[in-house]
């Protein structure tokens, strides 16, 4: 099925550094979501974006919904060891009977070196 | 319950056997979803239940896969005659309605040997 192009696939950074990851799609989405998954757990919602151009923050996390509605990015500032995990973007379609489905990127594996 | 509960958390089965995976959604959530996560991949949609409507089964990879949701609550995903390529983490999620963000369970890690 369709997937989003998420990059980078993995990142290895030092504690305190800022991180940026993004997702792009050939299709328009009306909702963009960012999830984090810890080992052995299900993904947990970090930020939800509902409007093109929207910029939303949640603590050290900031995410933006691209103007074209085909992309989104997530920034993490001043990373800490507990930021380690896999980050997924997900998009929800604008219209159609199956707008409840989420399309996921393949994830960005983040490793933070203390 | 407080969260989405899935059982078992881990399942190892022999090729060719049938398995049943259970999901107990958050109380009151009308929408329930099953996704599959293979190693190094994103999440792949399998099936969606919403209230009493007919489920969307469009993501089920083969006729060996089936799911039901009894009484609008607990759901069971059944895989018949398991194959090695079925090995993955099976995630269940629920939401108050079809347009809301999901809450995921911790998943069932299925290993077919």
d(CA A2, CA B43): 11
Cβ–Cβ below 8 Å for B91 and A42: yes
Query: Residues B19, B10: contact at Cβ < 8 Å?
Result: no
pLDDT in tens, A19-32: 999 999 998 998 99
pLDDT in tens, B10-62: 999 999 999 999 999 999 898 999 999 998 778 999 999 988 888 999 999 99
Query: Residues B47, B76: contact at Cβ < 8 Å?
Result: no
Whole-number pLDDT of residue A100: 77
Nearest CA-CA partner of A38 in A104, A113, A109: A109
d(CA A109, CA B8): 26
Cβ–Cβ below 8 Å for B42 and A99: no
Query: Residues A63, A45: contact at Cβ < 8 Å?
Result: no
d(CA B113, CA A113): 36
Any CB–CB contact under 8 A between A39 and chain B?
A: no
Partners of A33 on chain B (C-beta within 8 Å) are: 101
pLDDT in tens, B49-92: 988 888 999 999 999 999 999 887 999 999 999 999 999 999 99
CA distance B107 to chain A (A): 6
Cβ–Cβ below 8 Å for A45 and B102: yes
Nearest CA-CA partner of B46 in B3, B8, B12, B77: B77
pLDDT at A97 over 70: no
Whole-number pLDDT of residue A81: 95
Task: Classify burial at B39, counting beta carbons within 10 Å of its beta carbon; exposed 0-12, middle 13-18, buried 19 or more.
Answer: exposed
Between A and B, how many CB-CB pairs are < 8 A? 58
Cβ–Cβ below 8 Å for B106 and A33: no
Bridge partners, residue B56, by sequence? B48
Partners of B57 on chain A (C-beta within 8 Å) are: none
């Amino acid at each position: 099925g369709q997937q989003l192009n998420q990059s980078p696939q993995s990142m290895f950074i030092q504690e305190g550094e800022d991180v940026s990851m993004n997702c792009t799609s050939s299709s328009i989405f009306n909702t963009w979501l960012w999830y984090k998954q810890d080992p052995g757990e299900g993904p947990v919602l970090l930020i939800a974006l509902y409007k093109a151009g929207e910029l939303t923050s949640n603590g050290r996390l900031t995410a933006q919904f691209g103007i074209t509605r085909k992309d989104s990015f997530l920034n993490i500032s001043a990373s800490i060891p507990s930021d380690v995990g896999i980050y997924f973007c997900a998009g929800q379609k604008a219209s159609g009977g199956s707008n409840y489905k989420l399309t996921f990127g393949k994830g960005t594996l983040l490793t933070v070196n203390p | 319950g407080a969260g989405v509960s899935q059982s078992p958390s881990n399942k190892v089965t022999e090729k060719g056997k049938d398995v049943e995976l259970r999901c107990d959604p958050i109380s009151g959530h009308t929408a329930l979803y099953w996704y599959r996560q293979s190693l190094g991949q994103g999440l792949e949609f399998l099936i969606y239940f919403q209230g009493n409507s007919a489920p969307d089964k469009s993501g089920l990879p083969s006729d060996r896969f089936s799911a039901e949701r009894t009484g609008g609550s607990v759901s069971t995903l059944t895989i018949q005659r398991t194959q090695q390529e079925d090995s993955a983490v099976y995630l269940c999620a629920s939401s108050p309605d079809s347009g809301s963000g999901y809450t995921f369970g911790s998943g069932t890690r299925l290993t077919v040997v």
